[in-house]
Structure 1
């Protein structure tokens, strides 16, 4: 038993109200349960109750045991003087406000159905982190409930990503071009090197890069140099003229802009268990080519009307050197940025960037257009989406995949079944598992 279940039960009034009285014997009528408070203070605010002959407007506090009131020191906290009813699972003592007056209580244990408790226990019983807790109950849940929850989770995930974009934009003084640069840099790391590539964008401000992005050699020199992925002059491979040019360019630009203190340590980069096509050196070369070929990043990402147009935007050729090397001085044929990688950039950069900007300028129709891009992309399939697909959740497009990932990370893995429409439906109807 967790306190969250009592919050859920009180909020939705899912308990037996026949001959409802307080533990002190007074008739109780719930006129309004109040608004759930997730901040400091009582659990439900602005409740309206009739206790005996008196109508009360105030707060409701909820605990598993009445003695938790003392354990949490509410008897000394004036914020809790507004509590007019103490709702508990077990009443093991009476409680008082700071002035010593006793607060009426309601014990819920005898008013909860065994089916509700059994279902709740079943939802939280499977601790497998990749499982879907409500799997045994799903055949009895209407498909419309799943579809609605999937859509809600998708929007939550997109909004959360847009929140991060907005934070970056604020830190960058409202410069949307710089925001697009930082967002793309981090995304080009594709999980294993996302964090160091995000740091690289900070180590090489766009204000400097803008002055040299017309020259691909200088753009590469700045990026690879600040990443500390260029060899020293004494370690240069013989007959590698292009690498020598990169080193010379970086040495000049490093001194010109006093960049040395901002450079990343070489050990920040992850090469282990990566295919050469995913090496950070290859990704940095691809990012350099994009920055060189597409000088107006933000405008292009904002105005592209289709996935096809965005695929064309990201499809740029790296320099001849990086077509034939996967590390400085290490020859090898390297594939171009693949279609699946481009789709991930659309999902993780383009869509949240557009949503953040739409909120910034107050144009909600742009949010719908951004989310619609996800419906043009194929579904992502991995070990997290597989259990949902096996349970017949809709999974046709990237919009579905993002919704399923949001359900997993936001609801199923942390066992927030009571906040999920599917879990709420199961508990509301006390459906038995098949």
Structure 2
């Protein structure tokens, strides 16, 4: 058994409360079990209990064994002095606060219904290779429960991304345009080159970029030069375009003192990438966007549809040279920024950026409309989304895909079944619900 099962049983009061008493014999009445604490400190806060004739308001800490209190060093942590009841599976030790006072204990082991425990074990004891522990039991879960849980997981995923951008916004001096610039730079790496492109955003600060973004030649020199793509070698020797941009970069690099933060050509990743995803290609597309779209954040914020955002990205092509070269000095016809790439940028940058701004400015309606953009995008397909779709989960739009990915990564993969509405329903139902459908 894992501790989260006791959390679940206490939160929902799924145990026999007949003649409920502490190990010391005091009668217990649970007036309010408290709220789950996601931060450091006791597991449940603001609980309201009657122990004997005294009513207590405080915290509840939960362990499998009472002796875990000492193993976790709570006896020396003042955050745990607010605990008024120690709920355990097995009461194998007395525990005390930092001042030495005894904390009453409630052993739940004898009070847990066998069928409740059996339903829990049916989930968590699924083979490690099982991507979805509750798959055999899913026909017993109403579609409404599945849909609501997927939507909840979607919102959690978007909020996590928005929180990351909110932190970036704070780090960048509360500049939303700079936040959009850094977020887009990293996103154009499409995983393989996200990290070096993120560093390139730091290597060419927006304050410098703003002075030259209307001059295509200088903009290309700054970004490709700081990226390490303008160095002379066997492939680039005699290339007039690269020679010109290299000379311009030398001037700008010295002017702004950028030499120390420049990247080297070997820092970019090419392994298992199609030429259309090569870093110079993606950087060329970014340069086109930065040159033709001077107000990035405002455009991303005010777009009212996926079609408008598609035009924003697709209508700013790369410079001519980078539409004809996959790598510096290596010619070849390069495709424009594709529809699927634009959809990923909307999903991973535009939506969370707008949500972060909505939270910052107190606009809940903007959160709703921003997340709604995902419903205008087609569903993504990979091994995980296809698995859930095969089990009857709705999978029509990117909102569904993002929700299913969040469900897998946040709940199914780490076996957080009792934190999931689907798992909680299976565990908390009647004994008859344990029937496995094969």
- Category of TM-score, reference length = shorter chain: over 0.9
Q: Which position in structure 1 is the counterpart of 2:7?
A: 7
Q: Give yes or no for the alignment of 1:88 onto 2:102.
A: no
Matched residues in 1 for 2:325 and 2:129: separation? 40
Q: Which position in structure 1 is the counterpart of 2:145?
A: 145
Matched residues in 1 for 2:113 and 2:26: separation? 23
Matched residues in 2 for 1:266 and 1:186: separation? 17
TM-score by length of 2: 0.93
Task: Call closer, same or farther: CA 1:42–1:359 in 2, change over 3 Å.
Answer: closer
Matched residues in 1 for 2:146 and 2:191: separation? 29
Q: Which position in structure 2 is the counterpart of 1:387?
A: 387
1:236: how far off? 6.1
1:9-48 superposed matches below 5 A:
9-48=9-48
1:42: how far off? 2.8
Matched residues in 2 for 1:226 and 1:166: separation? 27
Task: Call closer, same or farther: CA 1:293–1:145 in 2, change over 3 Å.
Answer: same
Q: Which position in structure 2 is the counterpart of 1:287?
A: 286
1:92: how far off? 1.8
Q: What is the RMSD computed on CA atoms of the aligned residues?
A: 1.9
What's the secondary structure of 1:340's corresponding residue? Answer: helix
Matched residues in 2 for 1:340 and 1:130: separation? 30
8 Å CA contact 2:235, 2:328 repeated in 1: no
1:393: how far off? 0.8
Matched residues in 1 for 2:202 and 2:127: separation? 40
Task: Call closer, same or farther: CA 1:104–1:212 in 2, change over 3 Å.
Answer: closer
Matched residues in 1 for 2:103 and 2:35: separation? 20
TM-score by length of 1: 0.94
8 Å CA contact 2:287, 2:319 repeated in 1: no
What's the secondary structure of 1:384's corresponding residue? Answer: helix
Q: What do the CA deviations read for 1:330-363 (whole angstroms, capped 9, x no partner)?
A: 1111111100000111111111111111222222
What's the secondary structure of 1:375's corresponding residue? Answer: helix
Moved over 6 A (4+): none
Matched residues in 1 for 2:130 and 2:268: separation? 29
1:366: how far off? 1.2
Unmatched segments (≥5 aa) in structure 1: none
Count of equivalent residues: 433
Q: Give yes or no for the alignment of 1:423 onto 2:423.
A: yes
Decide which moves more: 23-32 or 275-284: 23-32
1:75: how far off? 3.7
8 Å CA contact 1:154, 1:406 repeated in 2: yes
1:27-426 superposed matches below 5 A:
27-126=27-126, 128=128, 131-232=131-232, 235=234, 237-315=236-314, 316-426=316-426
Decide which moves more: 16-25 or 345-354: 16-25
Task: Call closer, same or farther: CA 1:138–1:319 in 2, change over 3 Å.
Answer: same
Decide which moves more: 32-41 or 199-208: 32-41
8 Å CA contact 1:129, 1:413 repeated in 2: no
Decide which moves more: 381-390 or 271-280: 381-390
What's the secondary structure of 1:64's corresponding residue? Answer: strand
What's the secondary structure of 2:355's corresponding residue? Answer: helix
8 Å CA contact 2:235, 2:330 repeated in 1: no
Q: What do the CA deviations read for 1:23-48 (whole angstroms, capped 9, x no partner)?
A: 33333221121222333333223322
